[in-house]
Chains A and B, each alone.
Chain A
Amino acid sequence: MRHEISILIIGLFVVLSTASVTAGILSMRAPRPLSATLVNLTQRINAWWVMVALMTVAFFFGRYGMTILFALISFAALREFVTLTHSRRSDHWVLLGMFGIVIPFQYWLVWTAWYGLFVIFIPVYCFLLMPAITALHGDTERFLERVSAQQWAIMISVYCVSHVPALLTLNVPGFEGRNLLLIAFLIIVVQGSDVLQYIFGKLFGKHRFSPNVSPSKTWEGLIGGLVASSLLGALLSFITPFSPLQASAVAFVACTMGFLGGLVASAIKRDQGVKDWGHLIEGHGGMLDRTDSLVFAAPIFFHIVRYFWTV
């Protein structure tokens, strides 16, 4: 596995260096003051350096690193989601429970590989018990809206995100001890697809995909990004249990889900009247702005691998 990880790190280093040099040259040649797009591009690339560095560190700590890292990502994402949606004073204990009980318990289930409870804890137990607690408090004002927002918050920020480290619990014959590479594959392909969609959109984007939801998404960006990231998936098949053809198909599905995740996130933001979820990552916005695609891709990717590749 060490061999594959070295290749990935060198590859990411080359890609990011190329991006930084390109952005530097573009900025040098551009008229002053720099356009907002260029400034944002540089910020985004700088943030990518930091994110890749953090992921790499977490990678070296293996199962510990991944579980803790994604629990923290869930924390940041949940905080952004709950901040943005409506809640009332009487929701205090339910909100506390989401941070203090739901996140630790869900990641403990990931850690102990208790699959049976991992898949139903939030969609069954939290789904039923949280509104019950809210009802017991007796505050019915905008009840359904508050309860739904809480459900969405933990489904998106905790349940979906926790499927990334849960990949470590899958038992793929002939792939034992290398499950970290499944995480690397998923993240590189899905985040790569975001970047590729951005690049294709900026270069060739003409036809808006959904002007009402997200003005920045174009058909050209979508198609270019999906084709390119499917190829990227095939290229990375050497780190997976998949054949090149299978890898590109899995990448295609994951990236399509990722695109839809971005679309849904945009719809929520538009509904709530904000442009970004937060300000955690310079140039990108909040944690959810960066992970919205991963959130939608992770559970589907997890279940594809589980259904077709495990015993």
Chain B
Amino acid sequence: MSKLALRTYTLLQTVTSVGLSAMAWAVTGVRPIWNGSQPSDRQRIYFANHTSHGDFILLSACLSETERAKTHAIAAAEYWGKSRLRRFIAQDMLSSVLISRQWTSEAEHPISIMLSVLEQGHSLIIFPEGTRNTSDELLPFRSGLYNLSMARPDVELIPCWIENMSRVLPKGQFLPVPLLCRVVFGAPVALAPGEERRAFLQRAREALLALDPRPDRDD
């Protein structure tokens, strides 16, 4: 029995998710571009670029209501577990799953927590850069994506490019500027037999970068 028992949405989580998706649309007019994959109820790991707290809201606003109810963002316990309020927002409202970089026991290991979510048939949203990125370039990926893929090759890895969110709600700001955003969902990336960790992470990173609809622009 895993220590993390996931349920379907509570009323609070449903209200939050519908409310935030509506707000995301009102502010950013967010629309999904399915470019290589299609909406599906398959179990998936969505991995995306990370520049803003709004990223997860934007991405989940692009999923259907039923998918959203069983898709959890992975968030850093160092930030979201810091106070009772933050923990409440992250877990009880957004139904995200907290992982810690300073884990002590095997049960707290980020990968075991993420695997336990997958074992219960739910999907994940992860940001393999590991932190909100303030530079202009996509950071190198952490190895979680590789470990998850090794353990659960049956789960689809979908790259998702979130456009413009760094301009809407940059790190350190709390009021969003309404700008149009798109989320581009790419073709699944699968671990090739015998593929080495670094090569795979590099390939996954390039698959994500390739989705940027405006690669020449420097903003």
Contact = CB atoms under 8 A, between A and B. Distances in A.
B175 interface: yes
Contacts of A87: 167, 219
* Overall SS of chain B's interface: loop
Contacts of B170: 89, 92
Interface stretch (B113-121, B149-157, B176-184, B194-202): B176-184
B29 A88 contact: no
Contact of B177 (A86, A92, A280): A92
Interface in B187-219: 214, 217, 219
Contacts, number: 35
B173 to A, nearest CB: 6
A99 B29 contact: no
Interface string A62-89: 0000000000000100011011001111
A104 to B, nearest CB: 13
B178 A279 contact: no
A95 interface: yes
Contacts of B180: 79-80, 83, 278
A96 B29 contact: no
B219 A280 contact: no
Given A279-B31, A280-B29, A95 B177 contact: yes
A278 B173 CA distance: 26
B29 A82 contact: no
Contacts of A99: 177-178
Given A86-B219, A87-B167, A87-B219, A96 B177 contact: yes
B14 interface: no
Given A83-B164, A87-B219, A278 B177 contact: no
Contacts of B167: 87, 89
Which among A82, A89, A95, A279 has the greatest number of chain B C-beta atoms within 10 A? A89
Contacts of B217: 86
Interface size range of chain B in the complex: 10 to 19
A151 B28 CA distance: 21
Which among A87, A92, A96 has the greatest number of chain B C-beta atoms within 10 A? A92
A20 B31 CA distance: 28
A83 B175 contact: no
B198 to A, nearest CB: 31
A88 B134 CA distance: 12
Which among A83, A86, A99, A100 has the greatest number of chain B C-beta atoms within 10 A? A83
Contacts of B177: 82, 92, 95-96, 99
A79 B219 contact: no
Nearest to B173: A92
Contact of B29 (A79, A86, A89, A100): A79
Contact of A75 (B164, B173, B178): B178
Given A88-B219, A278-B29, A280-B29, A79 B175 contact: no
B97 to A, nearest CB: 30
Interface string B99-131: 000000000000000000000000000000000
Interface string A268-281: 00000100001110
Contacts of B179: 79, 82-83
A153 to B, nearest CB: 11
A186 to B, nearest CB: 27
B157 to A, nearest CB: 28
Contacts of B175: 96, 100
Interface of B: 29, 31, 134, 164, 166-167, 170, 173, 175, 177-180, 214, 217, 219
Closest 8 CB pairs of A and B: A83-B180, A95-B177, A83-B179, A79-B178, A89-B170, A86-B219, A96-B177, A92-B173
